[in-house]
């Protein structure tokens, strides 16, 4: 009885090319997810600096719009006059 025990490891087939791609793709996906989670937990300070510059740019853009206000009125008057001439 004990002389007939087969203690050799079971035969495992070699992984196919598709299985290898899938395996490494899953590893890359897991690494990407970890990087994303770490980016949320430890945000960089560059983001805060960009928000400050965007808010100042927004104020400057509003001032530019205010100064450009009369220009469209002149265009509208010119269009109305050209229509009256017809």
Cα end-to-end span (Å), the chain = 114
Percent of the chain with pLDDT over 70: 60
Q: What pLDDT sits at residue 56?
A: 61
| Interval 55-70: pLDDT, tens | 666 666 666 655 555 5
pTM of the model: 0.41
Q: How far apart are CA 73 and CA 79, in angstroms?
A: 10
- Split at pLDDT 50, 70, 90, the class of 2 is low
pLDDT value at 32 more than 70: yes
Distances in whole angstroms, Cα of residue 68 to Cα of each of 12, 41, 71, 72, 74: 75, 44, 6, 8, 11
Q: How far apart are CA 74 and CA 82, in angstroms?
A: 12
């Amino acid at each position: 009885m004990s002389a007939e025990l087969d203690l050799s490891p079971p035969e495992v087939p070699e992984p196919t090319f598709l299985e290898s791609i899938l395996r490494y793709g899953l590893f890359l996906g897991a690494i990407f997810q970890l990087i994303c989670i770490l980016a949320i937990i430890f945000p960089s300070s560059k983001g805060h600096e960009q928000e400050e510059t965007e808010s100042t740019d927004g104020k400057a853009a509003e001032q530019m719009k205010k100064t450009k206000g009369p220009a469209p009125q002149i265009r509208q008057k010119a269009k109305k006059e050209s229509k009256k001439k017809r």
